[in-house]
Amino acid sequence: MERLPGFRDFYPEPIPHRDVWSADARQYVFDRWRATARRYGFREYDGPPLEPLELYTAKSGQEIVHQLYNFMDKGERAVALRPEMTPTLARMVAAHERNYKKPIKWFAIPQLFRYERQQKGRLREHFQFNADIVGEPDVAADAELIALLIDALRAFGLTAGDFVIRLSSRQAWQEFFSRKCHDHTQAYEFYQIIDKLDREEREQTEQKLAALGFSLEEVMKFIGGGEPTPELNAILANLAARGLREFVNVDYQVIRGLAYYTGTVFEAFDRKGEFRALAGGGRYDNLVKLISGDKVNLPALGFGMGDVVLLELLNARGLLPPFDGGLDAFCLIEDEGLRTESLRLIHALRSGGLAVDYSLTPAKPDKQFKRAQELKAARTVRLERSETGEVQARIKDLRTREERAVPPEEAAGWLRAPAKS
Ligand code: HAM
């Protein structure tokens, strides 16, 4: 039985096949995302992976709706697996915003599902680090969020030479659009054409633009002009104060595919342009109002960073550390007469926070030692009876081969000391 296309199996390292993903690398990524979000004062939230279909159909835009995994459940409800987190966040915030002081700064790491054509950087399931600020209209929030995005990427050892944030403004595009076209119902169609400039055939783009009364030439001229709006200048100044200016370029080619963005928009890309977008986000000041049926009106902004492209980039740049089981000790039970005492020791060590493993059933000493090495244990610990009949713990550093015998109750202290490298 094979897994579905576009879905992943995550195995502990060492990876048994190039077609599967590393559970250790995934955990490493989650840990760094979490740690960075917390440094910025963001709190973690989560929502259900299955939502009413309606949450997405009116709000996210056609592109994502075409990619939905949706079905009727046994209670005749039209439901969908979440393709993104933002509508869930808007729903959750609208329901209980009074319980929280503004601005609300929240993050989540949901698994998301999109029925996309499987390709490099795009699968049918991915994990996405979402960070959003709700209730703050000032562009200081935009800068804060972009700083978090930059630091979340730097947390993996990526530098300004590796990635860039392309900063743009939906508002600037909206003004450009309104100068020629007064039918606002067509604005989103226009944004989608701009969003696909890179990926679609030139002729097709020209035709689509012409249908709305625009030429590709004037669009390219607007992108090339690229004068930052006052809002974008304020964001750039804020980031410069933090020493983060070199990570950001104003680039009007970015407009974002999702329908709900209203102001600043941005995407993170690798500098060489080898990979799909690492992250994308922006301001969506009307979504909470829309989702709450006009009951709650709060400005908001956020971004999503996927694990797929990030891991591709970290692999390509050799920025993933080696992962092993991280065992502090392997307990060798060579004298079966000491199994009971050994189990007591193992339990005491584990209760003290150490990662300890051992052979569940009797095994030859050399087999046990081999297992300790395979599991990359830092040390072995073995109980033995001395000539005077006392039980002592013999600890061996597997790298330096240094050995020492200590009373069993002191074993934890010795095992906790950093192993020599
Ligand atoms: P998005 O641009 O659709 O935005 O996705 C954000 C990131 O998730 C992408 O840049 C990419 O790294 C990753 N991603 C998206 N789709 C896939 C896929 N099929 N396979 C692998 N990775 C993928 C949003 O989802 C917005 N809701 C982000 C946001 C949060 N905006 C405001 N707050």
* Ordered DSSP codes for 188-245: HHHHHHHHTTTTS-HHHHHHHHHHTT--HHHHHHHHHH-PPPHHHHHHHHHHHHTT-G
The rounded percent of the chain whose pLDDT value lies above 90 is 89
Cβ(128) – ligand 1 distance below 6 Å: yes
Determine whether the shortest distance from the Cβ of 142 to ligand 1 is under 6 A. Answer: no
Q: Does domain 10-316 have CATH number 3.30.930.10?
A: yes
Q: Which of 58-67, 371-380, 407-416 has the lowest mean pLDDT?
A: 58-67
What is the structure's pLDDT at 387?
84
Task: Please give the single-letter amino acid code of residue 299.
Answer: P
Atom number in ligand 1 closest to CA 122: 20
* Rounded Cα–Cα distance for residues 174 and 63 (Å): 19
| Ligand 1 centroid – CA 83 distance (Å) | 9
Task: Grade residue 68 by pLDDT with cuts at 50, 70 and 90.
Answer: very high
Q: With CA atoms as reference, report the closest residue to 247 among 151, 111, 370.
A: 151
Amino acid in the structure at residue 192:
Q
Q: Which has the closest alpha carbon to 145: 32, 298, 301?
A: 301
| For residue 259, pLDDT beyond 90 | no
Q: What is the mean pLDDT of residues 333-357?
A: 97
- Mean pLDDT across the stretch 349-362? 97
**Does residue 238 carry a pLDDT above 90?**
yes
DSSP state of 28: H
Strand order of the β-sheet with 329-332 is: 356-358, 329-332, 379-385, 391-397, 403-406
Q: Measured from the CB, is residue 8 less than 6 Å from ligand 1?
A: no
The span from the first CA to the last CA of the chain, in angstroms, equals 44
CA of 251 to the centre of ligand 1 (A): 19
Q: Do domains 10-316 and 329-416 have the same CATH topology?
A: no
State in Å: Cα 124 to ligand 1 middle.
12
pLDDT digits (tens, 9 = 90+) for 149-177: 999 999 999 999 999 999 999 999 999 99
Residues 292-330: tens digit of each pLDDT: 999 999 999 999 999 999 999 999 999 999 998 789 999
Mean pLDDT of 35-61: 92
Nearest of 235, 306, 266, 327 to residue 84 by alpha carbon: 306
Burial class (CB in 10 A: 0-12, 13-18, 19+), 268: buried
In this predicted structure, what is the pLDDT of residue 61?
65
Q: Which residue has the tokens 């949706």?
A: 70
Of 271, 268, 272, the residue nearest 167 (C-alpha): 268
For residues 189 and 357, which has the higher predicted lDDT (pLDDT)? 357
CA–CA distance, 72 with 119 (Å, rounded to integer): 28
Nearest-angstrom CA–CA distance, 310 and 371:
33
Q: Which fold, 329-416?
A: Rossmann fold (3.40.50)
Backbone angles phi and psi of 296, in degrees to 5: -125, 130
CA–CA separation, 280 vs 302, rounded Å? 9
Q: Which atom of ligand 1 sits closest to the CA of residue 64? A: 3
Report, as an integer, the average pLDDT of 349-371.
Answer: 97
Counting other chains too, the contacts that 286-291 makes at CB distance below 8 Å and 24 or more residues apart are: 286/260, 286/262, 287/59, 287/86, 287/87, 287/90, 287/260, 288/90, 288/93, 288/94, 288/134, 290/58, 290/59, 290/90, 290/260, 291/55, 291/59, 291/87, 291/90, 291/91, 291/94
Q: How far is the CA of 245 from the centre of ligand 1 (A)?
A: 24
- Nearest atom in ligand 1 to the alpha carbon of residue 278 is 12
DSSP lists the bridge partners of residue 382 as 332, 394
186-234 residue pLDDT tens:
898 999 999 999 889 999 999 999 999 999 999 999 999 878 999 999 9
The string over 220-252, giving b where at least 16 C-beta atoms fall within 10 Å of a residue's C-beta and e elsewhere, is: eebbeeeebbebbebbbebbeeeebeebbbbbb
| Closest ligand 1 atom to Cα of 256 | 2
Residue 180's pLDDT band, with cuts at 50, 70 and 90, is confident
**186 vs 351: CA distance, rounded Å:** 63
State how far the Cα of 368 lies from the Cα of 333, in Å rounded to an integer: 8
CA–chain centroid gap for 97, Å, is 25
> Which of 107, 126, 142, 276 maximizes ligand 1 atoms within 8 Å of its Cβ, making it the mutation to test the pocket?
126
Q: Is the pLDDT of residue 110 over 70?
A: yes
302 touches ligand 1 (CB under 6 Å): yes
Q: Which helix (H) or strand (E) holds 112?
A: strand 111-113
> Ligand 1, closest atom to CA 124?
19
CA–CA dist 166, 151 (Å, integer) = 15
**Nearest Cα residue to 394 out of 322, 331, 311:** 331
Q: How far apart are CA 356 and CA 375, in angstroms?
A: 10
Tokens found for residue 45: 């939230």
State the chain's mean pLDDT as an integer.
95
Average pLDDT value for residue range 79-105: 97
87 lines ligand 1 (CB under 6 A): no
pLDDT at 420 over 70: no
Give residue limits of the domains in the chain.
Answer: 10-316, 329-416
- Regarding the beta carbon of 145 and ligand 1, being less than 6 Å apart is answered no
Does the C-beta of 61 come closer than 6 Å to ligand 1?
A: no
Provide, rounded to the nearest whole percent, the portion of the chain with pLDDT above 70: 99
Pocket test for ligand 1, best of 308, 311, 312, 313 (most atoms within 8 A of CB): 308
Average pLDDT value for residue range 121-135: 98
Is the Cα dihedral 403, 404, 407, 410 positive or negative?
Answer: negative
Give me the pLDDT at residue 226, please.
77
Is the CB of residue 132 below 6 angstroms from any atom belonging to ligand 1?
A: yes
